[in-house]
Structure 1
Amino acid sequence: MPGQDEIEAMQAHKENLRQRAVVRKAVSEQHGILKKW
């Protein structure tokens, strides 16, 4: 069984990836808005 530290590390990693995806989506949307001008 994985230890508590490993579980927390995995959860932090998933949260990191999720936040990066959100940021990437926001950035690409902003670029799309900029291109329209």
Structure 2
Amino acid sequence: DKTRARVEAMQSYLQTAISIDWDQVNQARPQWNARWSRSIER
């Protein structure tokens, strides 16, 4: 069954998925933006 195979594949992917801590990302974002501006955006 095609649907069953897709569900099993998705379950496998979800077992190794990494959850992003957006609070931590947002806390560091100003420093990352400043670094980007200095290094890349010149």
Q: Larger % of helix: which?
A: 1
TM-score (norm. length: structure 1): 0.45
TM-score (norm. length: structure 2): 0.40
